Structure 1
């Protein structure tokens, strides 16, 4: 008895909350029982009463079911209104906030990139990739270094080809060692030999004569490209002092390389380091001895310059080749100018 009373106490709250459903369930059970009982149990008059009870109970069950449905809808209406007027109404605002957060994250990343003054490149592949990114769509290029071998082999031909393809203007400023200054050429050759006496990636060792030929080749390459692309504004300066660094500066980034082919530094445009190196290169170029490239029309060069054309060019611009140079030396300069070997190549 106590267990029955305990069960009723537990069921009473549920029955109170769901009275209509409970009544409908009880009536459905009663109607079901009446419906399956044999007609002989009620007699003729009892059968009429049985049918009336079933019909009446069925109507009551339907009414209770309808009442339960209406009550559930009334309970759900505030929830639906809350969802519709709350979360859904705030959805555009939340989406706008997400866009603001994405924009803020993008701006923060750009600011962090700008604060990163210099990034170290630690492999040939990274250096080559950085050079490729610097060349992409650039409208200007400044170089300062020893003799400009990589400039002649890769940078200048590819930049000119890209500018010609897009039919756009290209400004190039080059500063290399003065080939007429024997002292600075010897200093540079001694420095390169002190790092390694073995031939470099081009297959040659560094001598004073090689330094002079490489610088002459850079001058010749500048004239050759200027004669073939009218939108190329190129200038060459000759320096009397050597540097252990090589600067390559484009519209988007600066790359500073050293003699180690697996080490370099890079900085993006707009950073403190990039802007100051840009100023340094401009001032250094202004102090260098200028090659009169405005005379590029005076001595036309063939696609494969002849010995006479090369000699005449340097005579005409006031940079005569050494008298000790024979035809083989002149051919070597022309080869270095137009078919230079990539010093960072495989």
Structure 2
């Protein structure tokens, strides 16, 4: 009895909250019981008892259906405000929220691209890393753009090795070089003063920076361009002379950009197709277009020997409209030829010379 009372107490709150459903359930049980009871329990006459039993069942069934309909109507009445709230509230704001989600998606995509681009701009912190970056940039490259002071490393390593690799593979090579104009004494003095202000000690070549050295280094770059052009027909090389100096040196190949400074242990590199690489490529192109162009198309007019003579060098610079200073003697011309074809690597690596890159 105690268990029954306990069970009723547990069911009572649910029955009170769902009275119509509870009544319908109770009636359904009663109808089920009446349906299986014998007809004699409703009347002495079996036929009369069956009629009474059928009336009870029919009436109870109608009551159950009415209660079920009432429960359905009540549930619909309860759901109507909720549906109206969802339709007028959340669904009405859905287009705005979808638009915000789309904006967030665009923002995340743009941020991811920016982060990817930043990850590909790397600082190099040693001579070895810088040398390896240059080696990776030279590998199978079809073009090279340089902008800097006088192009010492370019003459010593980059240009000979790139030409040798192109000749070995019998492929085209495009080179664009922009250096200080050796005929502009003012910019040469400015550059020499800048280099001496950083260090008055000899650099990796064993020389200190003077105005005369700046001029000779730039003349040597021009001479090296003509020398290599005469020896490799698939080399498309151009030299521009700038009236302004830069504290950076850009080396750009088909695969990467390397930006160096006067500190031999610090540089920055970026891979192709990144934001930084593309913008530096544009900068170098526009800067080269504004520089005074050396007429390299005249390379056939003054043939240069494997070891250019003093007369050949002097005639070359006369023909291209950039004559050597009158104060230069034979020793100065020989010094320019040596810097052009046997330049010492300022980073301390062996210089490269010759057709085969040796």
Structure 1 and Structure 2 fold alike (TM over 0.5): yes
Q: Does 1:119 align with 2:116?
A: no
1:56-95 deviation per Cα after TM superposition (whole angstroms, max 9, x unaligned): xxxxxxxxxxxxxxxxxxxxxxxxxxxxxxxxxxxxxxxx
Residue 289 of structure 1: aligned partner: 292
For residue 203 of structure 1, report the CA deviation from its aligned partner. Answer: 0.3
CA distance in structure 2 between the partners assigned to 1:113 and 1:303 by the alignment: 47
Q: Check if 1:206 corresponds to 2:206.
A: no
Correspondence for 2:132: 129
Q: Deviations over 1:155-196 (max 9, x none)?
A: 000000000000000000000000000000000000000000
Match among 232, 235, 251 for residue 238 of structure 2 = 235
Q: Does 1:223 align with 2:233?
A: no
> How much has 1:114 moved relative to structure 2?
4.0
CA apart distance, 1:116: 1.8
2:162 is matched with which residue: 154, 159, 164? 159
* Aligned residue in 2 for 1:175: 178
1:300 aligns with 2:303: yes
Structure-1-length-normalised TM-score: 0.67
CA distance in structure 2 between the aligned counterparts of 1:184 and 1:310, rounded to whole angstroms: 23
CA-atom RMSD, angstroms? 1.4
Structure 2 stretches of 5 or more lacking a match?
1-111, 350-358
- Separation in structure 2 between the aligned mates of residue 266 and residue 340 of structure 1, nearest angstrom: 24
The total of aligned residue pairs comes to 238
- The question of whether the paired residues in 2 share the 8 Å contact of 1:117 and 1:272 is answered with no
Partner of 1:266: 269
State the TM-score, normalizing by the size of structure 2: 0.65
1:10-159 equivalences in 2 (<5 Å): 114-159=117-162
1:110 is displaced (CA, Å) by 11
Give the distance between the partners of 2:214 and 2:237, measured in 1 at CA.
22
3-state secondary structure, aligned to 1:172: strand
SS at match of 1:298: coil
1:187 lines up with 2:173 in the alignment: no
Return the match for 1:336 from 303, 315, 339: 339
**In the aligned structure 1, how far is the partner of 2:209 from the partner of 2:125?**
25
Task: Name segments (4+ residues, structure 1) moved above 6 Å.
Answer: 109-112
Q: Deviations over 1:216-246 (max 9, x none)?
A: 0000000000000000000000000000000
Aligned partners of 1:224, 1:117: CA distance in 2, in Å?
A: 36
**1:253 shift after superposition:** 0.1
- Aligned twin of 1:315: 318
Structure 1 unpaired stretches of 5+: 1-108
Counterpart of 1:251 (choices 250, 254, 258) is: 254
